[in-house]
Amino acid sequence: MPAKPFDLVVERSAELYADALEGPDGRYPAAEALIAWAAKSGDPRYTAAAAVLLKHARIEVARLVRTSARMRAWNRVGFMAAAARARPVLRSMEPRAPRETLLRGSGPVDAATAALARRWNVRNPVALRAIEEMEELYGRTP
């Protein structure tokens, strides 16, 4: 993420920078930490946009799994991976108890989104269509 004030704009929490990447302009969160943070943010825009990153070829699945567990976002990240059809991530994750809340507020969701949320023990899911729209907007990652 080439944005120098990124750490001040997004989050001051140290857990986002536990595995930070050093760049010429400073420290930036690793994509895996950014995904877990977005899953916990409660913001549907961040969640849907971060889901697109789950299919990127450079995602380190083992790091994502560790980070999701450490940040207590396991089911949320699993739901996002299932919604984005990120098979490499899904091979390393299974739903866990207890139930986690994805978004701050609830809204109407289609049957497919509701079924996926039940499978992943997630309340207030982001709609699958929102993730598809982010993929269309940002392009499908390799």
Indicate whether 95 belongs to any domain.
Answer: yes
Instruction: Determine which helix (DSSP H) or strand (DSSP E) holds 101, and give its type and residue range.
Output: strand 100-101
Indicate whether 107 belongs to any domain.
Answer: yes
Residue pair 134/80 in contact by the 8 Å Cβ criterion:
no
Number of domains in the chain: 1
Look at 25 and 79; give whichever has higher pLDDT: 79
Q: Write out the residue range of the structural domain in which residue 26 sits.
A: 6-138
Look at 141 and 28; give whichever has higher pLDDT: 28
Q: Which residues contact 64 (CB under 8 A, 6 or more apart)?
A: 32, 35, 36, 54, 77, 89, 92
Indicate whether 43 belongs to any domain.
Answer: yes
Judged against a pLDDT cut of 70, whether residue 121 lies above it is answered with yes
Indicate whether 1 belongs to any domain.
Answer: no
